[in-house]
Structure 1
Amino acid sequence: MPTVFADVDTGVDDAFALAYLLASPDVDLVGIASTAGNTGVQQVCRNNLALLELCGATGIPVSVGSALPLSIPLRTAEDTHGPTGLGYAELPAPTTQPSGFDAAEAWISAAHAHPGELIGLATGPMTNLALALRADPELPRLLRRLVIMGGSFEYRGNTTPVSEWNIAVDPEAAAEVFAAFGAQSGALPLVCGLNVTESIMATPQILARLADAAGSPTTEMSPQDVRGTRSTATNPLIRVLEDAMRFYFEFHFDQGEGYLAHLHDPFAAAVALDPSLVRTRSATVDVELHGTLTRGMTVADFGAHWNRPPNAAIVVGGTPQQSAPLADVFFERYIARVAPFARRLAS
């Protein structure tokens, strides 16, 4: 059974990722680290605790991470994810409390408790992981694998012309993480960048399929709906996911991308559980920290120009064996896991 530790800045798509992990019966989710990013770290922690209560998984420890990036002020994304990070979704205040470990300590504790077995998943800025690596430089050797949602490779950015959000929030942390893994032996981190994750596009039709499969038919969302219209689904998890996603749809629509949303983080969660889902290309990755126009850019040396060993396996697409586009394969998996889980929660 895969043992997973997730570091998230929940966040609409982080919430979808957590639902995927919690819905996977073959996964032992041993901890969740809250990182500042999509919203402040205390709100992220509340979101994580509330989601666990909704999903009946209150035994999973949730830790609080750093409130700030390593060396710059925090920027958040309430315009993208809503005032609490979960769009229009409303969850009761959690009755549980975070663990006594901070997030960096939680990373280290989980890795030492499961040496060679732990799968680390980072779907937010990598501040907590960088602090953990400073405290325990041997951490990369203890992980079975690390999967990162971050960066953009031979593709545009979504925060600046060249930088992806998770990297842009804390470029110094990302640079430290890539450098730490480059200095270690073992499996290369799997990096899911915008070059792939922006092809994982959720639509109202896909959400309607999820609701139907969960036995909770809903009113399919439309750009013609009144802003903030709430889900008609009777299933509590489906309702939360739909209310969160509507805000995300509206944001992308206002950006001129259509009434859709990119599910970056759930895709990274799927890769963490099954790397055979994707094709990768090894490279040496570094983060630009000083460029006037390029700060936060993830630069990949595919041609060994730097004469440095690879420190990342960059996800570049699906596998030749797949008979359908990668996004279709992913959404089939997502619905197949989350819909039965939502049914069980409602029973």
Structure 2
Amino acid sequence: MSRTHPARAIIFDTDPGVDDVMALAFLTRLPGVELRAITTTFGNLALEATTRNALTIAERFGLDVPVAQGAAHALQNDQPRFVPHVHGADGLGDVHLPVPRRTVDPRPAADVIIDLVRRDPGAITLVGVGPFTNLAHALHKAPEIAGLVAGVSLMGGAFGTHGHTGNVSPVAEANVAADPWAADIVLGASWPVTMIGLDVTQEVVMDEAYLAALRDQAADAGRLIWDISRFYQRFHEQTRGLRGVFAHDSLAVAHAVRPDLFTTRSGSVRAVAGGIAHGQTIQKPRGLLCAPSSWDDRPEQAVAVGVDGGAFLDLYRRVLVA
């Protein structure tokens, strides 16, 4: 089954990150889609760095939207583990982009999310591609927003489909592992969540020839993607043997506007905090008969278990080149 919801206004919650920038380039060029705000969180790097990167890219792309700073750590103040070996010391492939002149919105990220959702009920989709701490803070401050959003598309989780079980541990995906307490809250709220996890994102590879074509055909955005993805691609080559990169965060954007590209499975979802399974996501699929458990009395959410990767890559290329 595939869940549909109109998604033409988006708040982008992010921890840039090379693939975050690739997703933002895609999002801001999609016809008929309006970016309402960028909210930042810790994740790939510390909050100061991810916020600087968001301001840098907003300035580079000429985006006239608020950029609001959010969570610096997990709900339980767990010590963050950053990944400069994946995205570069600056988070953008160490290409040394100019220091941004823009400044952050004075409101905390959670307040920006609440304000914009309340202002336009039923219109906004939240696309989260970092740890989900800002969304959990927003729910804590204003739980009613769960009934006011059009939908929530999250890049996160790993459920074992196609053999994809984790990228920071044998069972855990990075965004959930960074704050599983927040993930469990967000997945337990009464809003429609779709998790775009490793089950599908590691099925879609932008290979070197594809990225080179973007460089040559997609003007400034294509050249920027090529430049910042050189470091990222080397990481994929060294760890996965890929001559390319996974399209992680861009697939969460794609789901928000083209849910028909995905096959999903419904059921309540929990995120594990603590122990050797820290960060694992587990779904109790609809109809599964078992003894009463901690999955009961929680809303069913959607987990992506299939994707039309060829159609997505064609869509991304057409949007960027256009």
TM-score (norm 1): 0.85
Residue aligning to 2:172: 163
1:62 aligns with 2:67: yes
Question: What RMSD over aligned residues (CA atoms) do the two structures have, in Å?
Answer: 1.5
Give the CA deviation at 1:120.
0.5
Secondary structure, aligned partner of 1:23? coil
**1:315 counterpart letter in structure 2:** A
**Equivalent residues of 1:211, 1:339 under 8 A apart:** no
State the alpha-carbon separation in 2 of the partners of residues 238 and 20 from structure 1: 10
State the alpha-carbon separation in 2 of the partners of residues 205 and 283 from structure 1: 38
Residue aligning to 1:301: 284
**1:66 counterpart letter in structure 2:** A
Change in Cα spacing, 1:304 to 1:176, as seen in structure 2 (3 Å) is: farther
1:105 aligns with 2:88: no
**Equivalent residues of 1:10, 1:48 under 8 A apart:** yes
Structure 2 segments unaligned to the other structure (5+ residues): 1-6
1:24-61 Cα shifts (integer Å, max 9, x gaps): 1311100010010001111111111111111122x110
The structure with more radius of gyration? 1
**1:50 counterpart letter in structure 2:** T
Give the CA deviation at 1:117.
0.7
Residue aligning to 1:311: 300
**Equivalent residues of 1:90, 1:240 under 8 A apart:** no
1:157-210 Cα shifts (integer Å, max 9, x gaps): 00011000001111111111112x2xx2x5x21110101110111111111222
State the alpha-carbon separation in 2 of the partners of residues 85 and 203 from structure 1: 20
State the alpha-carbon separation in 2 of the partners of residues 18 and 89 from structure 1: 18
**Equivalent residues of 2:214, 2:223 under 8 A apart:** no
**Equivalent residues of 1:35, 1:65 under 8 A apart:** yes
1:314-347 Cα shifts (integer Å, max 9, x gaps): 11113xxxxxxx221111111111122xxxxxxx
State the alpha-carbon separation in 2 of the partners of residues 52 and 92 from structure 1: 12
Structure 1 segments unaligned to the other structure (5+ residues): 215-234, 319-325, 341-347
Give the CA deviation at 1:93.
1.0
Aligned length: 306
Moved more, 59-68 or 235-244: 235-244
Moved more, 301-310 or 70-79: 301-310
State the alpha-carbon separation in 2 of the partners of residues 333 and 88 from structure 1: 28
1:9 paired residue among 3, 9, 15: 15
Residue aligning to 1:213: 217
Give the CA deviation at 1:283.
1.1
1:181-240 Cα shifts (integer Å, max 9, x gaps): 2xx2x5x211101011101111111112223333xxxxxxxxxxxxxxxxxxxx432222
User: After superposition, where does 1:111-122 map in structure 2 within 5 Å?
Assistant: 111-122=117-128
**1:312 counterpart letter in structure 2:** Q
State the alpha-carbon separation in 2 of the partners of residues 304 and 165 from structure 1: 30
Residue aligning to 2:4: none
1:246 aligns with 2:230: yes
Give the CA deviation at 1:259.
2.2
Give the CA deviation at 1:309.
4.6
Change in Cα spacing, 1:304 to 1:211, as seen in structure 2 (3 Å) is: farther
**Equivalent residues of 2:214, 2:226 under 8 A apart:** no
Residue aligning to 1:332: 314
State the alpha-carbon separation in 2 of the partners of residues 43 and 88 from structure 1: 12
Same amino acid, percent of matched pairs: 34
1:66-125 Cα shifts (integer Å, max 9, x gaps): 111111111111110101111133321111111011111111111111101111000000
Residue aligning to 2:185: 176
**Equivalent residues of 1:31, 1:60 under 8 A apart:** yes
State the alpha-carbon separation in 2 of the partners of residues 21 and 301 from structure 1: 32
Which 4+ stretches in 1 moved above 6 angstroms?
A: none
State the alpha-carbon separation in 2 of the partners of residues 256 and 266 from structure 1: 20
State the alpha-carbon separation in 1 of the partners of residues 210 and 119 from structure 2: 38
TM-score (norm 2): 0.91
Residue aligning to 1:198: 202
Change in Cα spacing, 1:87 to 1:304, as seen in structure 2 (3 Å) is: farther
Secondary structure, aligned partner of 1:243? helix
State the alpha-carbon separation in 1 of the partners of residues 305 and 222 from structure 2: 31
State the alpha-carbon separation in 2 of the partners of residues 19 and 90 from structure 1: 18
**2:69 counterpart letter in structure 1:** V
State the alpha-carbon separation in 2 of the partners of residues 133 and 40 from structure 1: 23
